[in-house]
Amino acid sequence: MKGPGSNILTINTGSSSIKFSLYKTDDHPVLKGEISRITNPPCQIDIVSAHGSTTLLRKELNIRGFREAAAFIVEWLEEGGYGESIGAVGYRIVHGGPRYREHCPVTEELTEYLKEITHLAPEHLPQGVEVMEVVGGRLPYTFDVACFDTAFHRDMLEESKVYAIPFEFYGEGIMRYGFHGLSYEYITEELGASGEPLDRVIIAHLGHGVSMAAIRDGRCVDTTMGFTPAAGLVMSTRCGDMDPGVILYLLKEKGFSPDGLNTLLNHHSGLLGVSGRSDDVRELLEREGEDERAALALKLFCHSARRFIGSLSATLGGLSTLVFTAGIGENSAEIRERIVEGLEFLGIGLHMERNRANRRVISKDDSPVRILVLKTDEECMMARHTKRIIHREGR
Ligand code: ADP
């Protein structure tokens, strides 16, 4: 491998945060950190040692923007003596556009292309590229790998990818891409490693962003997010699927600008928009007894998830495994129970006590569908991809 060390740094740039982890050879990081509230200062940095046992740094930071945040991370690593241990960096890139559908080494050509397609993911790509440039510039000896959230969905059925608008738009790259791919890859590998059935699987990634993927024999055939992450299920602050007529009406009759619509549909909708109070499932669960809109928002959320389980099961021709993951999926027994209520006809038999106890397997022994709760780990997946590409490229 190029560079002085063999450790892998992963950099996960989100819409307002950068998460990073430093891996030795196995799947367990030496340290994990996050700079949060980058778009809403003061920023906060938190760095913990392996397994979160020791806090290495926790403070407010007087910095502005993603470039400064990325520079701070590299400086901290270098001052802490970790800099020279890093031989490779894996970057999470939300969108690879129509051209980059597989994880790959970072090149100048890729960086330039990503700059040209920032309009495909304006809330993630610009800072993703900025951070890649800053870290790459400060650690010039490392081997860099781009890990795309869209890559996992590249082999979807064509009828899942094409939108039913004039076909020339498909050629221009207006299609369903799908997101949360690193999370789906991690869960799929975990299922494979533990011998779970992989023939007809739905993974429900229920976090701040919410999506589902249908997997047949280990490959993604369909997913709920689309050209952008706003499509599909009702989310914390995103609307999910909606009649395009509503968007036209808001543009024409309500005087919304494109930017105003973006804010409305991506930041002020979903659980937050309907409840008018919170985008956090925990808070809504606490309030639903006395707050009708909190109750309605949760009903809508669960109804939307149930509909998509039905729809993706139809795509798969049945279901062998249903996995819940991410913040809500991993932690909220109440929401899991409400989502699968009435789905016994699909062979989904929830074991109430196992579900309440947050067990790994939460289906009844005689349930035709295995229901699992698995913790996702996108950073670990990035480290694995980086390692594989290092070997593939003979570095
Ligand atoms: P992100 O998509 O930002 O990574 P997470 O996967 O951390 O988000 O999920 C965040 C969501 O998880 C929050 O909306 C929160 O409501 C939900 N959540 C976390 N813990 C719980 C819990 N114990 N019960 C219900 N919801 C939870």
- Predicted pLDDT at 4: 63
C-alpha 31, offset from chain centre: 21
What distance in angstroms lies between residue 115's CA and the mean position of ligand 1's atoms? 31
Selection from 94, 186, 105, 208 nearest residue 380 by Cα: 186
Q: Hey, what amino acid is at 179? A: F
- Predicted pLDDT at 1: 44
How many domains does the structure of the chain reveal?
A: 2
Selection from 178, 184, 5 nearest residue 78 by Cα: 5
Active site residues: 149
What pTM was computed for the model? 0.95
Q: How confident is the model at residue 2 (pLDDT cuts 50, 70, 90)?
A: very low
Residues 56-85 pLDDT 10s: 999 999 999 999 999 999 999 999 999 889
For residue 26, is pLDDT > 80?
no
Asked if 98 and 173 count as a contact pair (C-beta separation under 8 A), the reply is yes
Q: Average of pLDDT values for 93-120?
A: 95
What distance in angstroms lies between residue 331's CA and the mean position of ligand 1's atoms? 8
| Residue 309 beta carbon below 6 angstroms from any ligand 1 atom | no
Among 37, 278, 281, 285, the mutation site with the greatest number of ligand 1 atoms within 8 A of its Cβ is 281
In this structure, the answer to whether residues 131 and 201 fall within a common structural domain is no
Residues 345-385 pLDDT 10s: 999 999 999 999 999 999 999 999 999 999 999 999 999 99
Q: Which of 116, 148, 180 is the last residue of a domain?
A: 148
Residue 394 counted as domain residue:
no
Residue 181 counted as domain residue:
no
Residue 385 counted as domain residue:
no
**Residue linked to tokens 């999910």:** 240
Selection from 355, 354, 350, 353 nearest residue 366 by Cα: 350
In this structure, the answer to whether residues 29 and 93 fall within a common structural domain is yes
Q: Which of 148, 170, 205 is the last residue of a domain?
A: 148
Report the alpha-carbon distance of residue 45 to residue 35 in Å, rounded. 4
Q: What are phi and psi of 21, to 5 degrees?
A: -145, 150
Residues forming a β-bridge with 44: 36, 60
In this structure, the answer to whether residues 100 and 20 fall within a common structural domain is yes
Q: Which of 93, 120, 148 is the last residue of a domain?
A: 148
Percentage of the chain exceeding pLDDT 90 = 90
Q: Hey, what amino acid is at 311? A: S
| Residue 333 beta carbon below 6 angstroms from any ligand 1 atom | no
Asked if 62 and 117 count as a contact pair (C-beta separation under 8 A), the reply is no
- Predicted pLDDT at 104: 97
Q: Show the domain range for 21.
A: 7-148
Residues 35-51 pLDDT 10s: 999 988 899 999 999 87
Closest atom of ligand 1 to 285 CA is 25
Residues 282-295 pLDDT 10s: 999 999 999 999 99
Report the alpha-carbon distance of residue 116 to residue 104 in Å, rounded. 18
Q: Is 302 helix (H, G, I), strand (E, B) or coil?
A: helix
What distance in angstroms lies between residue 302's CA and the mean position of ligand 1's atoms? 15
Residue 283 sits in a domain whose CATH number is 3.30.420.40
What distance in angstroms lies between residue 327's CA and the mean position of ligand 1's atoms? 3
In this structure, the answer to whether residues 350 and 245 fall within a common structural domain is yes
| Residue 61 beta carbon below 6 angstroms from any ligand 1 atom | no
Closest atom of ligand 1 to 14 CA is 3
Q: Which two structure tokens, joined as six digits, stand for 128?
A: 């993703």
